[in-house]
Structure 1
């Protein structure tokens, strides 16, 4: 196999070749194609008015555009900083392989001098799609609702109407679960197709080992019981990625009350003398700056980084910070940009079965154009195996010997240096490997978003806050130790399975495999699951940036609808919860403006 003969120099060359191929594929996929049926660019003039102006054509924005234009006498303008998704984003296999070259906001965290120090950049690239559908057009497509306790917890924090019983119906409204077993807890008529992709010949052996290690084996982790391991579910149907640009925008391309601005950057929200949002200032593709007016509401759906940035650029945020940036204060809201949460993630590897079919298995991605390119299990677990609320998530992929995806994860997700990546690759030269991305589901640590500049084009300052609460590092080490203990089962011992330890320079004083080693390893290699939330959190007066109806406190005519409104992060991948939030928000808006009685 190719990777078996790599030297460090060869690895660098191969990475350059891979990036070039990714770039060329994306460039070809960016050629406009009439048959793709995305909505056309609208002609919008300075001062033109719409009932609703939605800022951000990502996951939530596309849902809102679809649902609000269901009211025939409402006009809705959706503005997106990017363009149509490149054609390859619709293909489950290609979109994963070329992800680093897809249009992205290119947000990077600041180097805090503490976490992620074994990463080459000493910071974290928070990938976020700049295109219609946003991150739903470029993510890894895992579909995870979260845990009942997540949403009951939101209501306990003062957010009436966000308990599990209430939000479950919006999950059901969103999804079209492609399974022959009908269950009343799942939705079967929504716009987002969801499939469970099983690779039983490749995964059953590992499921048996996990079962031996005390974990439940589930048919569906998106029902009431989440703790356990199961084949992964994806927002994929009929061989197509189910991003919101595909599922929610294509069907409304000809609605006469829908208007779309692409390649158009929102600069700030405009308020009147009563602190009511009345419009948005936007830079058009030709660099002309115009104002568009909102007769009913402005809605920010720009994501957990860009929504708080836009609020602060508009004068809604911490007073001292806005004055420092030279921005006139409209409303002093000290929690804008605070409460940043993320699922911290590390890469862990075990050696697996003998790699007798390594050539075939290493070609997995190229034989699976219609699905996620490699076999995948998802698990939710706690140190207390009887607990229903999980501590950590494992995304587990059995990969053939010398599999290309090992190197791509090491360099393109975790940004580790050649020496560390070669150790991962060398460990799997002759054996299949069990590659796991292990995530801390409920971090106590918090980060923040601050303005770098009052210029809208400037990326904000992202302080991850990883392990700012010391309990997270201690707990996370225990969770990784719990996961890798599967190597001690009789199933894996029969193949001589071993945990792969990377002797990082930063951890040279610790015994490999010790608790202190794992703490050091996680502190220095930690990356992001790309699940940033919480920076415009809903909550009661004096705490929340928005109320339980997602209206921005202290001003009028302005809502936030995206991952930033989550008061606490959910138990798992966040795309499905954002879909739910947007569907529920659409109903709230309709009720508030007399269009329906929900």
Structure 2
């Protein structure tokens, strides 16, 4: 799909924390600190929200970029929730993209004028008539073509089944994503030598960290049942009537378990739902793919009650997975090892995060509407007392899913560590770069769409500079 996952995501625009990018730089990646990357976040952005543009964080935004970013006004339905979070000791931020990056905030989204701002729509559509732009649709890149160790082109599979070769005048850039970019490198002979050999692929370059360092945001679904109001069920129809807007009001928070901390440990995204929520069923069964018995428990509990569907995300996991080839066939899907909770500290941290969030039901507003966490009666957790730390550990282990934020499998880093260098050039060969979420050495604390777009903006400037073209500063 043109635009990749930006054409199918939930469109939440979050850049991550200052500490994320300063950490990238401290790992040996010069030029990727917060003060540097902020320029590229701003460069791509076309902020539309007047309150932000006239507020104290206006200097962190731009109105001239390609990517439309706006903020729906849901205050009538969400203000009591923000008051409850404030009562519970959390900051309420008008904009998460200011100097303060911990608290509950009014989220911004990548849509504009009722249209999703996928990268295809935002960046490609305005320049589709440029004579130097040509897009091969429904075409699969099979491998990179090398002359010795210089990348000179790409072998592709065309829609009709013909295999063809496309050659580069200057360099080849892989932007196939965290799953497919390492696959392409390995199919081209760049990767862990033993793994390539066992798949009968000639080793062009032994690069042991290709496909390693896979990181993702582990997500656990929580349901808060609230006011009994069966009449509100009719509001479920709004999602079908207003297909050009976001289906539900959303509240978001980046929360530190230590309230003095300047960076968050978990993200809570709350979908504000009427009785008999259809969104809950869709998210449970389709988005996170939980067992039908769990989804049925949720549906029964909220059939006549308003609810909050809460995505609880561990923002900075220590666990890592990897990508491996099944075989040398480019059409074969890779093997994905998520690595969730392979570091036991992550399970502890995720359980603590759920416990921390759950205290919201003790606030004045939540008590007034009779709110309670929905017990989904997990068979695997029946021997634990509901609501204890051990129960929430069991709950997280049995409810965990991906937030679809994989990164890191072609990570940049110093010689001997990074698959690519700080200018995203593949180490050990020439004429080849990678520019997508796979180059992140560590996952950012937040949704990864905006950081990936920032990476592309920065890559464009580095390519220009490396080929003697001046850039705007």
Flag whether TM exceeds 0.5 (same fold).
yes
Q: Partner of 1:264 in structure 2?
A: 139
> How far has the Cα of 1:357 moved from its partner?
4.4
RMSD, aligned α-carbons? 1.1
Q: Partner of 1:538 in structure 2?
A: 412
> How far has the Cα of 1:197 moved from its partner?
1.4
Q: Partner of 1:133 in structure 2?
A: 3
> How far has the Cα of 1:370 moved from its partner?
2.7
**Residue 527 of structure 1 pairs with residue 419 of structure 2:** no
My pick for the range that moved more, 142-151 or 492-501, is 492-501
| Aligned equivalent of 2:98, options 223, 226, 247 | 223
CA distance in 1, matches of 2:445, 2:356: 18
CA distance in 2, matches of 1:515, 1:167: 39
TM-score relative to the length of structure 1: 0.77
Q: Partner of 1:192 in structure 2?
A: 67
| Aligned equivalent of 2:288, options 389, 407, 414 | 414
> How far has the Cα of 1:493 moved from its partner?
1.2
SS class of match (1:151)? helix
Q: Partner of 2:301 in structure 1?
A: 427
* Unaligned 5+ runs, structure 2: none
CA distance in 2, matches of 1:202, 1:293: 55
What do residues 237-281 of structure 1 show as CA deviations (whole Å, max 9, x unaligned)?
Answer: 0010011111111122211111111111111001112x0101111
CA distance in 1, matches of 2:31, 2:213: 21
My pick for the range that moved more, 352-361 or 258-267, is 352-361
CA distance in 1, matches of 2:211, 2:35: 29
Q: Partner of 2:177 in structure 1?
A: 303
CA distance in 1, matches of 2:77, 2:302: 16
Q: Partner of 1:439 in structure 2?
A: 313
Q: Partner of 1:404 in structure 2?
A: 278
| Aligned equivalent of 1:454, options 316, 320, 328 | 328
Matching of residues 11-410 of structure 1 within 5 Å: 131-181=1-51, 182=53, 183-273=58-148, 275-355=149-229, 357-410=231-284
CA distance in 1, matches of 2:435, 2:77: 40
Contact in 1 for aligned 2:230/2:303 (Cα 8 Å):
no
> How far has the Cα of 1:491 moved from its partner?
1.8
Q: Partner of 1:60 in structure 2?
A: none
Q: Partner of 2:380 in structure 1?
A: 506
CA distance in 2, matches of 1:278, 1:383: 50
CA distance in 2, matches of 1:217, 1:170: 26
Contact in 2 for aligned 1:282/1:291 (Cα 8 Å):
yes
CA distance in 1, matches of 2:160, 2:190: 28
SS class of match (1:377)? strand
SS class of match (2:260)? coil
CA distance in 2, matches of 1:530, 1:356: 33
Contact in 1 for aligned 2:174/2:434 (Cα 8 Å):
yes
- Structure 1 segments, 4+ long, off by >4 Å, are none
CA distance in 1, matches of 2:458, 2:154: 24
TM-score relative to the length of structure 2: 0.97
> How far has the Cα of 1:368 moved from its partner?
3.1
My pick for the range that moved more, 479-488 or 181-190, is 181-190
CA distance in 1, matches of 2:110, 2:251: 15
What do residues 297-345 of structure 1 show as CA deviations (whole Å, max 9, x unaligned)?
Answer: 0000000000000000000000000001000001000000000000000
CA distance in 1, matches of 2:371, 2:194: 56
Contact in 1 for aligned 2:227/2:371 (Cα 8 Å):
yes
SS class of match (1:373)? coil
> How far has the Cα of 1:417 moved from its partner?
2.3
Give the number of aligned pairs. Answer: 467
Q: Partner of 1:67 in structure 2?
A: none
CA distance in 1, matches of 2:233, 2:377: 29
What do residues 419-472 of structure 1 show as CA deviations (whole Å, max 9, x unaligned)?
Answer: 211211121122211110000000000000000110000000000000000000
SS class of match (1:295)? coil
Contact in 2 for aligned 1:348/1:500 (Cα 8 Å):
yes
**Residue 579 of structure 1 pairs with residue 453 of structure 2:** yes
CA distance in 1, matches of 2:375, 2:163: 54
Q: Partner of 1:25 in structure 2?
A: none
> How far has the Cα of 1:140 moved from its partner?
1.0
CA distance in 2, matches of 1:386, 1:501: 32
Contact in 2 for aligned 1:281/1:290 (Cα 8 Å):
yes
